[in-house]
Amino acid sequence: MRNKLFFSFLAVIFIAMISNLLYEKLITRDFEEYVNGAREDRLYWVMASVEGGYLDGSWDHSELHNAAHWAVMLGFDMKIMGADNREVINSEDVIKAVPQSMRKRMESIADLGSASGEYEIYPLFQKGRQIGTMLIRQLKRPAIEEKEIIFRQRGRYFLAITFLIAGGGALLLSFFFSIFLARPLRRMKKAVEAMAGGDFSIRVPVGSDDEIGRLAGSFNFMAEALQREDALRRHLTSNIAHELRTPLAVMKANIEAIQDGIITDSALGLESIRAENEKLIRLVEGIEDITKAEAVFFLQSRTVDLDLKEFANSLVMRMVPLAAEKGVGLSVMNRGSIKVMTDPDRLDSILQNLLANALRYTENGTVTVDFGKDSSRFFLEVSDTGVGIPDEIQKDIFRRFYRGEGSTGIGLGLSIVKELLDSMGGTIEIESSEGKGARFRIWLPVRSRQ
């Protein structure tokens, strides 16, 4: 990243240099256009003065003398030719005729002997008729030309200074930012490498409240979450090993006892083996459920028009036998039909897990399913009169592999609910207190029909 920043600032410097060169070219061009425009203005002023010196069909030499005098002062060597192509007046004769003091002043403005090259020819007209021709050559004006040279030099000097300031500043900033930004990123890179090696205890210092600081904070949060997840996973692995070992050991002991004749009632031994086998099945199904929940994120959602009342009643009917075994009353609130667009498969898994969880922790009580809808969302709610959930663990129950004290599950049901809800853009609310039951309400967005 440091190299990218450095080359980015070099690109800025290069662009600044190109911009300065273009700016200099444009300024020089505009100045040249201004100089040429000013020359044309002076030239036309001289032409107007010369044409004004033609009166009543003849040239007024006094007026021509003044026009030629001003032409020299404005930097022109001039000749006036009549309609018969004869010379009427020229700048050289005018200069010779003026007093010495005046001539010195004229020489301070224009170099009287500097005219060279071809004359520019300009026809002279009066009342639509050509009265003669004006021949013009440029005289050097040292004072004016020196000012023009100074202007150009100062313009280049100004552009060079601005380029050095911008370029040097960009260069310094490139070093500063490359070092300033690269240092925390290098620390984060080392932390990521350590985490990839299995060290979830690694943390990076949060030195500021900018994007880098927030990234460091997010990294620390992720590391902490992974550390907790790793600890829970290790705990779960230990629990699974224990859960597998016990029923397998009991099954093995019963089989050996039947083989050795210790258990004479084979039906009793087989019943014990069947019960332990059911425990193994529940454990494997729980692991499969979390695998399916993870796979949901990679599957395209199947959205259909669903009646919440029919959906809730159908699911409750499937769970009635389990509720009857525990002496739990299971019912759906008596409400009218509400139709929504949603994914029935994911919603079925969510509600089934919530119901199974409620039945697991309710004895001789009631479990109720409710549903409803507002302008932009609909909800499904499962409430029970079971043991309830202590306040201090309510924030943890949706974490994968979490098992509260006295839990009989493997800590996957509610985490599956949360992950499925996340995939559907939904949320879940919980209200509970220890010994007073629990209420879980899921909210999902109302989708429009395609």
9-56 pLDDT, tens digit per residue, is 667 667 777 777 777 777 778 778 888 888 888 888 888 888 888 888
b/e string for 264-300 if b means 16 or more Cβ within 10 A? eeeeebeebbeebeebeeebeebeebbeebeebeeee
Q: Is residue 27 part of a domain?
A: yes
Based on the domain organization, do 222 and 329 belong to the same domain? no
In the numeric block, the tokens 């039947």 are attached to 258
Q: Which of helix, strand or coil describes residue 149?
A: helix
Q: Which ranges of 110-210 does DSSP label H, i.e. alpha helix?
A: 142-196
264 and 238 housed in the same domain: yes
Predicted structure pTM score: 0.44
For residue 57, tell me if it sits in a domain: yes
Tally of CB atoms within 10 A around 231: 12
Choosing from 295, 313, 339, the residue where a domain stops is 295
Look at residue 435 and tell me if it is in a domain: yes
Write out the two tokens for 229. 């997840």
CATH number of the domain at 257, please.
1.10.287.130
- For the packed helices 2-51 and 142-196, what is the interaxial angle rounded to 10 degrees? 160
User: In terms of domains, do 41 and 58 share one?
Assistant: yes
Which tokens hold the place of 258?
């039947």
**Is residue 336 domain-shared with residue 401, that is, in the same domain?**
yes
Q: Specify the number of domains making up the chain.
A: 3
Cα 410 to Cα 406: distance, rounded to the nearest angstrom:
11
Q: Does some domain include residue 388? A: yes
| 344 closest CA partner among 301, 374, 375 | 301
Do both 110 and 238 map to the same domain?
no
In a domain? residue 223: yes
Same domain, 233 and 287: yes
The pLDDT value given to residue 299 = 59
Q: Which of 263, 295, 327 is the last residue of a domain?
A: 295
Quick count: other Cβ atoms within 10 Å of Cβ 179?
Answer: 11
Amino acid code (one letter) for 234: R
Confidence (pLDDT) at 340: 92
140 in any annotated domain? yes
Helix (H) or strand (E) holding 224, with range, is helix 211-260
Identify the pLDDT of residue 216. 83
- Separation CA 89–CA 94 (nearest Å): 8
Name the amino acid, one letter, at 209.
D
Rounded Cα distance between 363 and 294, Å, is: 32
CA distance 348 to 315: 8
Q: Tell me, yes or no, whether 307 and 399 share the same domain.
A: yes
Residue pair 344/380 in contact by the 8 Å Cβ criterion: no
Instruction: Classify residue 76 as exposed, middle or buried by CB count within 10 Å of its CB (0-12, 13-18, 19+).
Output: buried
> Which of residues 130, 146, 162 is at a domain's end?
146
Dist. CA 336–CA 330, nearest whole Å: 19
pLDDT of amino acid 303? 83
Give residue for tokens 């010369």.
50
CB under 8 Å to 182, separation ≥6 — which residues?
Answer: 1, 2, 5
Query: What's the pLDDT at 128?
Result: 84
Task: Extract the tokens encoding 359.
Answer: 């039945």
| Ramachandran assignment for 382, one of left (phi > 0), alpha (psi -120 to 50 degrees), beta (any other) | beta
Domain that holds residue 232: 211-295
pLDDT tens-digit profile of 90-102? 888 888 877 887 7
Residue 187 amino acid letter: R
In a domain, 241, yes or no: yes
Give the pLDDT of residue 308: 94
Report the pLDDT value the prediction gives residue 185, as an integer from 0 to 100. 76
For residue 79, give every residue at least 6 positions away whose Cβ sits within 8 Å of its Cβ, in sequence order, or none. Answer: 87, 89, 90, 91, 119, 134, 135
For residue 217, what are the CA distances in angstroms to 102, 257, 350, 443?
A: 85, 59, 32, 30
- The percent helix, strand, coil of the chain (3-state, each to 5) is 60, 15, 25
Q: Are residues 327 and 437 in the same domain?
A: yes
Pairing of strands 76-82, 129-138: antiparallel
Domain match, 275 and 308 both: no
Task: Provide the token pair at 194.
Answer: 């350590």
Judge if 113 and 139 occupy the same domain.
yes
Beta-carbon contacts of residue 360 (< 8 Å; ≥ 6 apart) = 408, 409
Are residues 252 and 309 both part of a single domain?
no
Q: What is the dihedral of CA 317, 319, 325, 327, to 10 degrees?
A: -70
> Angle, nearest 10°, between helix axes 211-260 and 266-296?
160
H-type alpha helices, 326-447 = 344-360, 413-424
What 56-63 contacts at long range (C-beta under 8 Å, 24+ apart), as own/partner pairs, is 59/88, 59/89, 59/132, 61/88, 61/89
Helix (H) or strand (E) holding 228: helix 211-260
Query: According to the model, what pLDDT value does residue 372 have?
Result: 94
* pLDDT beneath 70: ranges in the chain: 1-10, 12-13, 177-179, 181, 232, 235-236, 239, 242-243, 286-287, 289-301, 400-411, 448-450
pLDDT (0 to 100) of residue 4: 58
> Shortest CA distance to 238 belongs to which of 67, 382, 410?
410
- CATH code, domain carrying 441: 3.30.565.10
Assess whether 282 and 304 both reside in one domain: no
**Which neighbouring-strand residues pair with 23?**
none
Query: Is the Cα dihedral 356, 362, 366, 369 positive or negative?
Result: negative
159 within a domain of the structure (yes/no): no
